[in-house]
Amino acid sequence: MPQPKLYEDHAARSRHHRRMQKLQQIGPLAALFPYMGGKAVPAPVIWQRLGTVKHYLEPFAGSLACLLARPHRPHTETVGDLDGYLTNVHRALVYDPLAVAQYARWPVSSMDLWARHDYLCSQRDALAAQLTADHRFYDAELAGLWLYCASTWQGSGFGRKAGLRPQPHVSHTGSGIHARGRRDQLPRRCLELQTRLAHVTLLCGDWRETLAETVVFRTRGSVGILLDPPYSQDLREAPLYARETDCAAAVRDWALAHGDHPQLRIALCGLGGEHAMPDTWTAYTWQARGGLTNTKHHGRGSGETRQEVVWFSPHCLQPAHQLLLHV
């Protein structure tokens, strides 16, 4: 009979117990900033289907909306993203959350948005090099400025190049640091994220690196994988993302190649009609408003809705009373 894992000493056991207590007290969290195609809405369904997996992977991290919405105690978690600014934000929240909050708090202002965005664009390559050269490096100022711009920017093109001059949001009732009732709570929310992300593995690079076999199977037991790649470019208006890539088809192929593995529970996200999946996969459909995802025929602020889908692999859980449709 296998023996339970023993901690090296009493202090290590106490630290682990305190961390678990803090995580239970915090509970699920909302994403700190809006992100194109975020999965906060279907997150409860995704977690019902993945269950209490031993290892959770998310190679397209974005705002981490789904990870933060996890309703139960986390085990091993690994996330990745191609955008170095997202890695810097997540890393800075772990090391110095109050400094991030200090730099992020600023009134909504057109010229401040433009100036900060231009500065962020000028620092992108240098930041990526420093993040790669030293796993301890972070820049709390750039993280705070990025959060401010991400929450203030309106339209597409954010982070792509300097010189863009959009008007900022003037109404903030949704997500982001300017949302009603959130600005004064920013330091507390950053501290909560520090606790939540302290033991999450953050990778910066191509999605295939996060899904390498040595990463996927780093622990024994069930593995939950959320695949939320950028929408196919023929279904959206480009440019949309700071780091453009048209990898949706390749991600689907990876999901299909690994979907029958009994240890893996895979959730693949996309637009309605984007992927043709076999009958062994089940799909959950939901309606998202035009919002931040500048898809063709459903532009930002249009108020129109678009159908989004999460396809679940054969070994995902099958909770009762849940509507599952083949798409």
SS (H, E, C) 104-155: HCCCCCHHHHHHHHHHHHHHHHHHHHHHHHCCCCCCHHHHHHHHHHHHHCCC
CA distance 238 to 230: 11
Kindly tell me if the per-residue pLDDT of 317 is higher than 90: yes
pLDDT band at 14; cut points 50, 70, 90: low
Task: Give the pair of three-digit tokens for residue 4.
Answer: 């339970």
What local confidence, expressed as pLDDT, does residue 172 receive? 59
pLDDT band at 174; cut points 50, 70, 90: low
Kindly tell me if the per-residue pLDDT of 120 is higher than 60: yes
What local confidence, expressed as pLDDT, does residue 322 receive? 47
Instruction: Give percent above pLDDT 90 in the chain.
Output: 55
Q: What is the mean pLDDT of residues 304-324?
A: 78
Tell the burial category of 195 from Cβ atoms under 10 Å away from its Cβ (0-12, 13-18, 19+).
middle
Q: What is the mean pLDDT of residues 108-131?
A: 95
Whether a cis peptide bond, with omega within 30° of 0, leads into 239 is yes
pLDDT band at 202; cut points 50, 70, 90: confident
The conformational region for residue 224 under phi > 0 = left, psi -120 to 50 = alpha, else beta, is beta
pLDDT band at 287; cut points 50, 70, 90: confident
Tell the burial category of 296 from Cβ atoms under 10 Å away from its Cβ (0-12, 13-18, 19+).
middle
- DSSP labels, 215-251: HHTSSSS-EEEEE-PPPPGGGBPSS-SSS----HHHH
The three-point CA angle 117-99-57 to 5° equals: 75
Kindly tell me if the per-residue pLDDT of 109 is higher than 90: yes
DSSP three-state, residue 101: helix
At the topology level, CATH places domain 26-82+205-327 in: Rossmann fold (3.40.50)
What local confidence, expressed as pLDDT, does residue 15 receive? 53
Kindly tell me if the per-residue pLDDT of 320 is higher than 90: no
Q: With contact defined as beta carbons under 8 Å apart, do 295 and 235 qualify? A: yes
pTM, entire model: 0.82
Task: Give the pair of three-digit tokens for residue 135.
Answer: 């796993």
Considering only CA atoms, which of 293, 226, 300, 225 is closest in space to residue 263? 225
What local confidence, expressed as pLDDT, does residue 149 receive? 95
The three-point CA angle 297-176-30 to 5° equals: 100
What strand order describes the sheet that includes 264-271?
201-204, 76-81, 55-58, 223-227, 264-271, 305-312, 282-289
pLDDT band at 291; cut points 50, 70, 90: very low
What does the mean pLDDT of the chain come to? Answer: 83
pLDDT band at 5; cut points 50, 70, 90: very low
**Exposure pattern of 79-94 as b/e (b: 16+ CB <10 Å)?**
bbbbbbbbbbbbbbbb
Q: How far is CA 42 from CA 19, 79, 210, 222, 283, in A?
A: 27, 18, 23, 21, 12
Kindly tell me if the per-residue pLDDT of 253 is higher than 80: yes
Kindly tell me if the per-residue pLDDT of 4 is higher than 70: no
What local confidence, expressed as pLDDT, does residue 302 receive? 43
What local confidence, expressed as pLDDT, does residue 204 receive? 82
H or E element: which one contains 102?
Answer: helix 97-104
Q: With contact defined as beta carbons under 8 Å apart, do 286 and 38 qualify? A: no
The three-point CA angle 263-266-267 to 5° equals: 160
CA distance 267 to 44: 13
pLDDT band at 239; cut points 50, 70, 90: low
What local confidence, expressed as pLDDT, does residue 249 receive? 93
What local confidence, expressed as pLDDT, does residue 157 receive? 83
Q: What is the mean pLDDT of residues 76-90?
A: 91
Considering only CA atoms, which of 69, 221, 89 is closest in space to residue 148? 89
